[in-house]
A and B are shown apart, each in its own frame.
Chain A
Amino acid sequence: MSTDTEAPVDGTQFMTFHDLAYDAGKTDFQRKAQPVGQGREGELLEVAMGPQHPSTHGVFRMDVVLDGETVVKLKPVFGYLHRNHEKIAENTSYLGSMPYTDRLDYFCSLTNNWAYALSVEKLAGLQVPERAEYIRLITAELTRVLNHTCLAGFLLQDMGALGTPLMYAFREREKILDLIESLTGARMMCNYMRFGGCRCDLPAGWLDAAKKVVAEYPKFLDEFETLLSGNEILMARTQGVGKLSAELAVNAGITGPMLRASGVDYDLRKVDNYGIYSRYPFRVPLGDHGDVYDRYMIRMLEMRESLKILEPALKDIPEGPVVDPKAKLRGFRPKPGEAYGRIETPKGELGFYLISDGSPNPYRYRVRPPSLINLTILEDMCLGQTIADAVITLGSVDIVLGEVDR
């Protein structure tokens, strides 16, 4: 390969190409000569997919370099939704950051709340009452079902199955959102967990409504799987696409269903045993191939496992207070120290690292967002595949831009 000249090295055997050196420091592509037959032919095309592209799940841009339809380079560009969450949190009280955590991954605000509450509880040494632990487990598993349902719908939307799967998914999601709304007051921005418990107790009749939803959900999952899982078009589009090896996944710090789809048995619910997960046996589904189909199937199976946790938990929930009486709402000042709390959210490991200097605000507040870290290896999964496959690979990563950009 010669230098940047466009002139053929040898007048007859070489012709000019636009090969690309896409460095982080360079804003445009450098042209390089490349010999015929050694690789690509024709001009490469840079396409900026996004930030207003419907398949990028928000304001996210993929700068893809295409050779025909094949992806040669891919650079994820994010930051369009940056809201300075961490710095705002360092300037507001511990309680004041709780509603902002809803806006991280706005599909799963209850798990975000839990992760933040858990790290503050570690920092301040608060104990969560039994009933609140149950409520947290139930809401978190409902959130997981909700998130995976939506993901399946969005993924199919990305594959071109416009409407039907997404509408079916949203129809079921609405049932869970109704439960969440009657419990927390808001469909998505719940702001429900508090340090040392939950904000309010379950309203009357909530448990029965939840039991009904949980009992009916497998019917929907069966329907959804009949519709999709055996569908030849879905299999042709997803099997062998966007492969991620277990080694790379571990090295890149991937967590959540993406990691498990690559065959790595790592679920924080089992590893950390936070909350009361140890009381309920559930299986962790693992994939073989690490492709998009595995990631889709992992989520379908995880939903069934979540329902298996939910069913007994809704029966076992004890009476009692929902918040630690020692927990203060106003004037909350944890002792100087640091804490890292993490939970398995539907998207992966969500962690909050807090340093307290004894003041009402955290000295340092850092979010470890699963979406962002799972997104970092997008290029490795997409190279050499078509641009339509890049779209579904991104869809299977399951990002929410609120969490990627913060």
Chain B
Amino acid sequence: MLGTGILRGMVETAKNFAGSYHDPERLTTVEYPEQRIAPKENARQFPFLVHDTEDPMKGLRCVACQICEKECPPQCIYIVKSKDKRADYKGQMQLYPVTFDIDLSVCMSCQICVEVCPFESIKMDTEFELSNTDRFGGLLVNKHQLAKSNEHYRKIHPTEAAVSDAALAVEVAKAQAKAKADVEAKAKAAAEAKAKAEAAAAAGPVGAVAPAPAPKPSSPAAATAAAPAA
């Protein structure tokens, strides 16, 4: 009979309409500014720079290697290298970024900077409410705005952060072992040199002693957990 299809459809609509008052399956929306859905763990919006110490600028992991700048598909990262060096988290002398700007109006949140970074220093944030009244400079963020602590990273991406912390712990352990070996070797060399000629003892090691305290991951992630569950 003509019209039965329409009537069946109307019944379906009525079911949905009635269901939208009591059935949680039909109540799919939230009142956004008041109610919020927590972001997914993997969610990514825009990059930020990870720092380890209290002072964000001193503890930036970034060593201004400019790999992300080169690999960024829309070319939205601008880095200026420093002239001098400073000790990084494992005590190695490294450059640091004097300028590190990201133009968020150009960034397309593709995460390639995160993937190519060998120093675990740039990660994806989940913050998305970035609207701004400044048309021209408002979304050009500098390194002071980009710097966020490792705790923040652990909070927003716990699984990823554990992997990253474990990888860094391995690096630190390696660096410490190497520094220790270096110190021993140098001390030995110095002792030999002292024995040979007293004047040569003044050339003691400077750079390799006293590595900066390494950031300890809050969760004691084992080094073997570095690889994702294969």
Contacts and interface: CB of A to CB of B under 8 A. Distances in A.
Nearest to A222: B12
B28 interface: yes
Interface string B20-55: 000000001000000000001111100000000000
B2 A201 contact: no
B112 A95 contact: yes
A366 interface: no
Nearest to B228: A201
Nearest 5 pairs between A and B by C-beta?
Answer: A99-B110, A230-B5, A96-B73, A185-B44, A185-B42
Contact of A201 (B8, B67, B110, B229): B229
Contact of B9 (A98, A185, A189, A226): A226
A232 B228 contact: no
A227 B9 contact: yes
Nearest to A102: B110
Nearest to B230: A321
B13 A164 contact: yes
B151 interface: no
Given A96-B71, A182-B42, A185-B111, 18 more contacts: A95-B71, A98-B112, A171-B28, A174-B28, A181-B40, A183-B42, A185-B43, A191-B110, A203-B159, A204-B229, A223-B12, A223-B16, A226-B12, A227-B8, A227-B9, A231-B5, A234-B5, A235-B5
B230 A92 contact: no
Interface string A232-243: 111100000000
27 contacts: A92-B73, A93-B71, A96-B112, A98-B112, A99-B73, A99-B108, A164-B13, A168-B16, A171-B28, A181-B43, A182-B41, A185-B111, A185-B124, A186-B43, A189-B109, A201-B228, A201-B229, A203-B41, A203-B159, A223-B16, A226-B12, A227-B13, A230-B5, A230-B8, A230-B9, A235-B5, A329-B115
Interface size class of chain B, counting residues whose CB lies under 8 Å from the partner chain: 20 to 34
Interface of A: 92-93, 95-100, 102, 164, 168, 171, 174, 178, 181-186, 189, 191, 199-201, 203-204, 223, 226-228, 230-235, 319-321, 329-330
A232 B42 contact: no
A191 B111 contact: yes
Nearest to A223: B12
Contacts of B110: 98-99, 102, 189, 191
Q: Is the interface of A mostly helix, strand, loop or mixed?
A: helix
Interface in B118-163: 124, 159
A95 B112 CA distance: 8
B116 interface: yes
Contacts of A99: 73, 108, 110, 112
A232 B6 CA distance: 6
Contacts of A319: 230
A173 to B, nearest CB: 11
Given A93-B71, A319-B230, A330-B67, A228 B43 contact: no
B192 to A, nearest CB: 43
Contacts of A199: 111, 115
B220 interface: no
A181 B28 CA distance: 17
Interface of B: 2-6, 8-9, 11-13, 16, 28, 40-44, 67, 71-73, 108-112, 115-116, 124, 159, 228-230
A330 B6 contact: no
A231 B8 CA distance: 8
B8 A232 contact: no
B42 A203 contact: yes
Contacts of A171: 28
Contacts of A235: 5
Nearest to A233: B6
Residue in A93, A102, A186 whose Cβ sees the most chain B Cβ within 10 Å: A186
Contacts of A178: 40
A59 B192 CA distance: 79
Nearest to B118: A330
Nearest to A200: B228
A200 B160 CA distance: 10
A182 B40 contact: yes
A100 B9 contact: no
Nearest to B116: A330
Contacts of A183: 42
A115 to B, nearest CB: 17
Contacts of A184: 42
| Residue from B28, B42, B67, B116 with most neighbouring chain A CB atoms (10 Å) | B42
Nearest to A183: B42
B108 A189 contact: yes
Contacts of A329: 115-116
Contacts of B28: 171, 174
Given A185-B124, A189-B110, A201-B228, A231 B41 contact: no
Contacts of B8: 226-227, 230
B230 to A, nearest CB: 6
Given A96-B71, A329-B115, A232 B5 contact: yes
A102 B72 CA distance: 15
Nearest to B3: A232
Contacts of B115: 199, 329
A185 B126 CA distance: 10
Contacts of A182: 40-42
A368 to B, nearest CB: 22
A138 to B, nearest CB: 16
Nearest to B10: A227
A182 to B, nearest CB: 4
B4 to A, nearest CB: 8
